[in-house]
Chain A
């Protein structure tokens, strides 16, 4: 006989629904995207403006040859808002003479491939991150 999973009830919720910090990491919101920004590394001057303006944490900083530099998008969290190409100083240099292919950041239609917006992990997090960490082996 299959053992019924233990379901947390309303009595188990901390006052005000307070949970441990950092739970957003497990709540993937990239699935909401209707458009996808694409980064063309060869045109990037590494000014980090896009990183500063990103309303989420979808632009990663990585270790490069000269120290910290812009890395790829983390599409688990990019909602395709379009702020990064709007703020990109390289993009803003594009005139009639320069073609769109020179853009550092361009918005493209969504491929339909997204990350799941919500998974069981996120659900269980609400009633106790510690338990969820154990259950899903989250470090």
Chain B
């Protein structure tokens, strides 16, 4: 296959994927740093490069509401947002997931106020972790582009039928220009295929009710069906990843285990920080420390067993969280990892760190220090700390 090598930012890469998918409907409202995705896509609409019906609405609440209506009416539907915009969609996110609409959302991770800050952390996306959406994180524009192409296939799969958000890190990825391998439009369209609607409210010959009231009698069963769909999503993400590899040459799973096979010390992170960590791992390996990285790609569904299986072989591990959950224990990622370890009966020293809130930089040296601390913990020289702030002015 003829791949085109171009230089693209994360936002440009996501907009290009959307152009190639050519969704039936997009409804969106601008917000930094995701604005550009829809701004570029609106250009494609204007230039006739896509046949999408682009609906400009008065708020993110309305954007997601329009997406729900559109997807229920049998149209492949996409949107983009960030931060307060995602928070403003909150109510409708649960509805989209509950009535099982496979909407694709390009989400750019950004701090949630207060304080007002437009830069990257994961507090917006983590706040929606219980909404019932599949959540994929991207290390760079390439992964965001690839995930956007896989997203409709995962979301629309008949065993899943759930909405999906593909995330990039605000500014770091969204506005950072990198090398991008683009695939031919026709190949992408062939891979994505026709929209697989779960039902169609506009089929007037077969009228249906969507979103009806269900009380004590069947809400519980309704939720169980949703729960099973999210379980199925784990399998489908891997299946679609394998099929993607056959077509485009790069395989994606729930996690990426980077130099984990013989690792003594592993850190877990997601998004752009995983890229920085890979460099740290290589430098530590040159210094004789067997470092490894688990990059979580799918936060929802959460790959607990897969992570626990790898961590069962290490001397110590640490989790990087780019969001607070104010639990006094650990951030959201560390909490999930610990859950998985307990269930798998794995007891290892595990430290958890909070970093990078509001776009605070994380450097290779910061990450290397964490690995060195893990070595101290394994040697009994110190104890693992929880929710420890790194990169803080102290």
Contact = CB atoms under 8 A, between A and B. Distances in A.
Contacts of B217: 123, 126
Interface stretch (A20-28, A58-66, A93-101, A106-114): A20-28
Given A15-B100, A118-B215, A123-B217, A20 B222 contact: no
B207 A17 contact: no
B58 interface: no
A15 B218 contact: no
A17 B98 CA distance: 8
A136 interface: no
Most buried by A among B100, B215, B221, B224: B221
Contacts of A8: 218, 221
A13 B212 contact: no
Interface residues of A, number: 21
29 contacts: A8-B218, A8-B221, A10-B221, A10-B222, A10-B224, A10-B225, A10-B228, A11-B225, A13-B225, A15-B161, A15-B198, A16-B98, A16-B99, A16-B100, A17-B98, A17-B210, A17-B212, A18-B99, A18-B198, A18-B199, A18-B210, A19-B208, A20-B207, A20-B208, A21-B207, A23-B209, A24-B209, A27-B213, A126-B214
Given A27-B213, A126-B214, A17 B208 contact: no
**Majority SS at the chain B contact face:** loop
Contacts of B211: 17
B101 interface: yes
Most buried by B among A9, A21, A24: A21
Nearest to B229: A15
Contacts of A14: 199
A23 B212 contact: yes
A17 B95 CA distance: 12
Contact of A126 (B99, B198, B212, B224): B212
Interface residues of B, number: 24
Interface string B154-187: 0000000100000000000000000000000000
Contacts of B208: 18-21
Given A15-B161, A18-B199, 13 more contacts: A8-B218, A10-B224, A10-B225, A11-B225, A13-B222, A15-B199, A16-B100, A17-B210, A18-B208, A18-B210, A20-B208, A23-B212, A118-B215
A22 B100 CA distance: 21
A19 B215 contact: no
Contact of B212 (A15, A19, A118): A19
A118 B207 CA distance: 23
A17 B199 contact: no
Contacts of B221: 8-10, 13
A28 to B, nearest CB: 12
Most buried by B among A8, A13, A118, A126: A126
A78 interface: no
A127 B219 CA distance: 11
The 7 A-B pairs at the shortest CB distance, nearest first, are namely: A21-B207, A10-B221, A16-B100, A123-B217, A16-B99, A10-B224, A15-B198
B207 A13 contact: no
B199 A16 contact: yes
A53 B261 CA distance: 69
Given A10-B221, A10-B222, A21-B209, A16 B214 contact: no
Contacts of A13: 218, 221-222, 225
Given A10-B221, A23-B209, A17 B99 contact: yes
Interface in B201-250: 207-215, 217-218, 220-222, 224-225, 228
Interface string A75-119: 000000000000000000000000000000000000000000010
Nearest to B160: A15
A17 B213 CA distance: 10
